[in-house]
Amino acid sequence: MASSLKSLVNDDDRYQKSFQLFLERSSEHQCMRDFIHNKLPDILASIGDGKSHLNVIGVGSGAGEIDLEMLSELHKKHPGVTVDNEVVEPSRQQLYNYKVLVSQKPDLDYIKFNWNTMTASEFEEHWKAEKATKKVDFIHMIQMLYYVKDPEATVRFFQGLLGKNGKLLIILVSGKSGWGKLWRTYRAQLCQPDISQCVTTGDIKSFLDSKGVRYQSYELPSQMDITECFTEGDEKGELLLDFLTEVLDFSNTASPELRAGVLEMLRHPDCSVESNGKVIFNNNLEAIALDQLS
């Protein structure tokens, strides 16, 4: 990233604010819920192989809302099974929110939660240092591969933890989304070199295809209202722009040329549609399900 631009992830408070606004302005969680309730049960049906205990890892679990919905579907498919759930999340605030959510939910006594305040790579180091040998039945990595140095190595490591009939679920923005177009155009200016911030499912599928790894993929249609981004000085618009570019205080730190170019791209038909005075960004996601390494 150009030296004058700082990553939004460097300011956790502003990141959480912009992320919450993103969730309010987008159908992100709704499209995930549709997938979890309509498609995920079939994916989960074959895991476990009749075992009475299942091992689960959530990588980048955030505040836990989506995790608990997946665990609920797992429980419906495999009633009577106990679950050991490793939660991996570097944000203390998000982990705290997850714990609060768990404390408010009845009927979770079949799950043992293990809280890991760490990144995916720290968890990998921890796992190797512990020489852990247990195999995992279900691993999910939702919207988190942007924050690792090497997505391919991260996917390979976690896929390698799967036991017989285990499943690894990855959800990321689709290569065909507005994000994909924005990142392909402005990767050099916006994307940090030390993390894989601009990765899409297109990139993940490319390396899986090159290795001959089989997977199932599912498109998750989603959109996001970014109208406020085009009102200069609008506080919420500025937060959304920070989230879209992953740049801290983008409007005030980017060059006028870069800001104008990004705004023009966000409005481009490849990224958004304009309807009833609103600019609706293509926020499509894609889910990829992998089996145990063969």
260: which strand partners?
none
Cα separation, 178 vs 168, in Å, equals: 26
SS (HEC) of 215-237:
EEEEEECCEEECHHHHCCCCHHH
Query: Does the annotation flag 276 for ligand binding?
Result: no
Query: Does the annotation flag 152 for ligand binding?
Result: no
Residues in CB range of 55: below 8 A, 6 or more apart = 83, 84, 86, 134, 135, 136, 137, 138, 163
Binding-site residue ranges for substrate: 28, 283
Binding residues: 28, 283
